[in-house]
Amino acid sequence: MPKIVNHDAHKDEIAQRAAAYFSEHGYSGVGMRGVAQYLGMSKSALYHYFPSKEALFLACTKQVIRQFPEPSGNSALGEAAQLQELMDCMKQDFGSEMALVLDYLRGKKPDEIADDPAMRETVAYFLGTVTRIVGEERAPETLAQIIGTLLLHYFSGGNWKADFHGLRID
């Protein structure tokens, strides 16, 4: 009797495992052959699920976003506490994630970045999350403050201390 495979679930599992490989090796340092070897599958099997490295990266991005810990959404905690939860979650792998994103975007023109499905997915997720906390009007500025603070914290080797609108990073 033939083995029944849930195609979508298997595809999600491949993307989840490949995300770790991208995180470790960067975008430009990864080829489909290397990913296939890491996953223990043939390159043709990988291409069966993902027609290109870009398609695989987009699937990896979606997997990472799906598994990103959401702030509790408990409005009783207050806005500052919810934003603090989000920033603390983002801080965990911020350096390696930013390095991967910048490697992925290297050489792309601004209009290509704006149209890139992985970047659109990422921005939509984080902007949507912040919007649920502070509202649509304040979300872009608040997200920019969070990302800017995390960048400065990372660039300073963790020595950047900040306290804005009740959010702390140290």
- Per residue in 124-135, pLDDT (tens digit) is 999 999 999 999
Supply the pLDDT for residue 8. Answer: 85
**pLDDT score of 105 more than 60:** yes
pLDDT average, residue stretch 94-114: 96
Strand partners, 163: 168
Confidence class for position 7, pLDDT limits 50, 70, 90: confident
Instruction: Give yes or no for a contact between 114 and 53, defined as CB atoms under 8 angstroms apart.
Output: no
> DSSP string covering 52-102, please?
SHHHHHHHHHHHHHHHSPPP---GGG-HHHHHHHHHHHHHHTHHHHHHHHH
Confidence class for position 161, pLDDT limits 50, 70, 90: confident
pLDDT average, residue stretch 43-67: 96
Spatial separation of the C-alpha atoms in residues 52 and 143, rounded to whole Å: 31
**pLDDT score of 170 more than 80:** no
Domains parsed from the chain with CATH numbers: 7-63 (1.10.10.60), 74-169 (no CATH)
Supply the pLDDT for residue 155. Answer: 92
Neighbours of 142 (CB within 10 A): 22
Supply the pLDDT for residue 158. Answer: 85
The model's pTM: 0.85
Supply the pLDDT for residue 144. Answer: 95
Supply the pLDDT for residue 5. Answer: 65
**pLDDT score of 67 more than 80:** yes
Spatial separation of the C-alpha atoms in residues 73 and 95, rounded to whole Å: 25
Instruction: Give yes or no for a contact between 30 and 53, defined as CB atoms under 8 angstroms apart.
Output: yes
DSSP state of 163: E
Instruction: Give yes or no for a contact between 169 and 150, defined as CB atoms under 8 angstroms apart.
Output: yes
Least confident of 3-7, 43-47, 59-63: 3-7
pLDDT average, residue stretch 111-117: 97
Supply the pLDDT for residue 116. Answer: 98
